Amino acid sequence: MRTIIFRTIAPYLSALMVLFSIFVLLRGHNEPGGGFIGGLIAASALAIFGVACGVASVRRAIVFHPMGIAGFGLFIGALAGIVSFFKGQPFMTSQWWYLKVFGVEIPLSTPLIFDIGVYLVVVGAIGSIALALEERESD
């Protein structure tokens, strides 16, 4: 698998895939996409990088252990539901904030935070499975 072409291309490919996964994540509220599918794309980016350049370099690149990333995703996903507490609304009621940056309206919301949580959970969980399998292979 570790041909020179693949090894040269893989880092760029992975970077592009991560970028694309974030694009898919952000467009997800009203259009096809979202945290889950974005997370899957990002996890496959990690897997490709791992196949090409070794699992150790992936682990260095993402700094945190994948399970830690998944834990963080779960944490902010749960926090996103609590925001409505302060408005006297039930758990998980969505809250929206419309920011104006240079005349462009940017809608931010708790569903987005929740979606980012889902994204991180999927990246962490699938990524750690993929990395564990690749590690086993290279033993």
Partner 1 sequence: MAGSPVSVDYSQAMNLSAVPAGDWLVVAPTLITLLGGSLCLMLRKNTDLQPKLGIGFLALLVLANFGLLVRVLDYGVISMVMGSWLPPFGIAFTVDALGATLSLIGSIVALCAGIYGAASVDNTGRRYGFYPFLLLLMTGVCGAFITGDIFNLYVWFEVLLISSYGLLVLGNDRIQLDGAVKYGVLNLIGTNLFLIATGLLYGIFGTLNMADLAQKVAALDNPASGTLATVAALYFLAFAMKAAAFPVNFWLPASYHTPNVVVSAVFAGLLTKVGVYALIRVFVLILPASRGYMADVIALVAIATLLTGALGALAQSELRRLFGYLVIAGIGSMLAGVAVGSTLAVSGAIFYAVHSIIVMTALYLAAGIMNLMSGSYDLRKLGGLYQKSAGFAGVFLVLGFAVSGLPPFSGFWPKVILVDAAFQDGRAWLGAAILVSGFLTTLAMGRVWIYAFWRGGPEGTPDGQSVAAAGTDTGQLSGAAVWLPIGILTALVVYFGLQPEWMLELSTQGATGVVEPLGYLRSVFGGEG
Q: Which residues bind partner 1 (CB under 8 A)?
A: 65, 67-68, 70-75, 78-79, 81-82, 84-85, 88-94, 96, 98, 105, 107
Assign 108 to helix, strand or coil. Answer: strand
Taking the least distance from each CB to partner 1, the nearer of 33 and 73 is 73
Three-state DSSP class for 53?
helix
Least distance CB 124 / partner 1 (angstroms): 9
Nearer to partner 1, 15 or 108 (CB): 108
Token duo for residue 137: 């292979």
Angle at 71 between CA 46 and CA 110, to 5 degrees: 100
Residue 65 C-beta: closest distance to partner 1, Å: 8
**How far out from the chain centre does Cα 90 lie?**
27
* DSSP conformation class of 88: T
Task: Give the residue with the Cβ less far from partner 1, 7 or 65.
Answer: 65
The distance of closest approach from Cβ of residue 13 to partner 1 in the complex, given in angstroms and rounded to an integer, is 29
CB of 51 to partner 1, least distance (A): 26
E strands, 94-136, are 96-101, 104-109
Cα 37 from chain centroid (whole Å): 9
